[in-house]
């Protein structure tokens, strides 16, 4: 199950109390105070893990508490510090304060750590309150409470390329052909109910990640269909692949489909239409009317977008598409050669 938003409660450990004690030893007539300090409470730490891709586990385990610090003891013995509590979250998780809606942290890289709730400080024992005129102090401090917060975690998947388009536009089939991902593929709308990620390998050992977003329909930004739930996942992509079904089976107007999806992206976020976008006419092997392909090519030209024809069934245009996407995700790097000329890394032929 793909869960991309949860509410959790975190509580850091309280600090241990300081101890009040006096030395009672033979042959030590003036032992003095010997109360040890309380231990520090454990903190709750969020850690970005590349081994998680959903917030499902946190949905069923919403409370996370760290260990409290131990109390101080006599003979100047300090209490043990409480153990920290580590909570793993997927890369791409955004942490918000539930009450104020303030964003506290955004995890964008594996291994990132953020102390979301600090443990309380241990109290001082009475050994710290002895002075020349106050040699038998009974004062000692209690530990301070650890921080506690109610959080909202929101996951926005991190992918280089986002596939958008109407249901059954061929997104799932495409990602299954160019990567090792195996999403469910069927001939009915909304076959894809959750985002699917696929890693596309390239000949020079570089790769990029493609996200198959559940199909959009008109009014998706208002909650129609599945769009409002998953549109946020394309906000972090570097390039959008707008797939338009040009086959004769649907009977839909491809030009209208293109405009509807573009409007939905713009209505959801002002930033989405600004992303680099490649228009892809999919299922060209089933397009008997060349005017349908020409219409999509024309509207792509009107918007100044790159256009490509593909067929996931026959493999037409897939290799070219992969290199085009790789060139955007991994721009060519210029390197100096021995004869002071200029050489380019792979993809320069594009």
SS (H, E, C) 77-88: ECCCCCCCEEEE
Same domain, 118 and 254: no
Same domain, 129 and 197: no
Domain that holds residue 73: 5-155
Query: Global pTM?
Result: 0.73
Helix (H) or strand (E) holding 107: none
Measured CA to CA, the distance from residue 18 to residue 180 in angstroms comes to: 58
Measured CA to CA, the distance from residue 287 to residue 245 in angstroms comes to: 9
Q: Are 287 and 246 in contact (CB under 8 A)?
A: yes
350 within some domain: no
Same domain, 214 and 137: no
* Beta bridge pairs of residue 269: none
Closest CA to 212 of 226, 222, 201: 226
Measured CA to CA, the distance from residue 226 to residue 339 in angstroms comes to: 57
DSSP letter, residue 274: G
* Predicted pLDDT of residue 348: 45
* Beta bridge pairs of residue 149: 10
Measured CA to CA, the distance from residue 87 to residue 97 in angstroms comes to: 16
Same domain, 135 and 275: no
Name the domain boundary from 123, 155, 187.
155
Helix (H) or strand (E) holding 237: none
Same domain, 194 and 120: no
- 10-residue mean pLDDT profile of the chain (350 residues): values are 86 96 81 92 95 88 96 93 96 93 94 96 94 91 96 88 85 87 60 71 82 69 57 83 86 86 83 87 87 91 92 90 88 56 49
Same domain, 108 and 217: no
Same domain, 78 and 220: no
Measured CA to CA, the distance from residue 210 to residue 241 in angstroms comes to: 9
63 within some domain: yes
Same domain, 221 and 290: yes
Q: Are 259 and 221 in contact (CB under 8 A)?
A: no
If one counts the domains in the chain, the total is 2
349 within some domain: no
Same domain, 240 and 136: no
């Amino acid at each position: 199950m793909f869960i991309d938003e949860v509410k959790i409660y975190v509580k850091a450990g309280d600090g241990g109390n300081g101890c009040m004690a006096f030395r009672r030893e033979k042959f030590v007539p003036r032992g003095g105070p010997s109360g040890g300090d309380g231990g520090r409470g454990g903190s709750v730490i969020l850690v970005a893990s590349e081994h998680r891709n959903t917030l499902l586990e946190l949905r069923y385990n919403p409370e996370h508490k760290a260990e409290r610090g131990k109390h101080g003891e006599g003979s100047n013995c300090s209490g043990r510090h409480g153990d920290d509590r580590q909570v793993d979250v997927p890369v791409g998780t955004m942490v918000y304060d539930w009450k104020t809606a303030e964003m506290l942290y955004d995890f964008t890289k594996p291994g990132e750590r953020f102390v979301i709730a600090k443990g309380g400080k241990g109290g001082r024992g009475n050994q710290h309150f002895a002075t020349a005129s106050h040699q038998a102090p009974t004062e000692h401090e209690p530990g301070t409470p650890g921080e506690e917060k109610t959080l909202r975690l929101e996951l926005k998947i991190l992918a280089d390329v986002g596939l958008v388009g109407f249901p059954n536009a061929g997104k799932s089939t495409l990602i299954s052909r160019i990567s090792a991902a195996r999403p469910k593929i069927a001939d009915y709308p909304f076959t894809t109910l959750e985002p699917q990620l696929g890693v596309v390998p390239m000949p020079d050992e570089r790769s990029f990640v493609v996200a198959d977003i559940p199909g959009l329909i008109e009014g998706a930004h208002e909650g129609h269909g599945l769009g409002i739930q998953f549109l946020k996942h394309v906000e972090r992509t570097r390039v959008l692949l707008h797939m338009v079904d040009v086959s004769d089976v649907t009977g839909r107007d491809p030009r209208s489909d293109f405009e509807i999806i573009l409007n939905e992206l713009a209505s959801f976020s002002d930033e989405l239409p600004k992303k680099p976008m490649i228009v892809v006419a999919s299922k060209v092997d089933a397009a008997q009317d060349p005017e349908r392909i020409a219409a999509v090519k024309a509207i792509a030209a009107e918007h100044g977008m790159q256009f490509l024809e593909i067929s996931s069934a026959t493999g037409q245009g897939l290799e070219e598409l992969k290199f085009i996407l790789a060139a955007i995700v991994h721009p060519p790097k210029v390197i100096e050669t021995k004869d002071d000329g200029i050489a380019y890394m792979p993809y320069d032929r594009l």
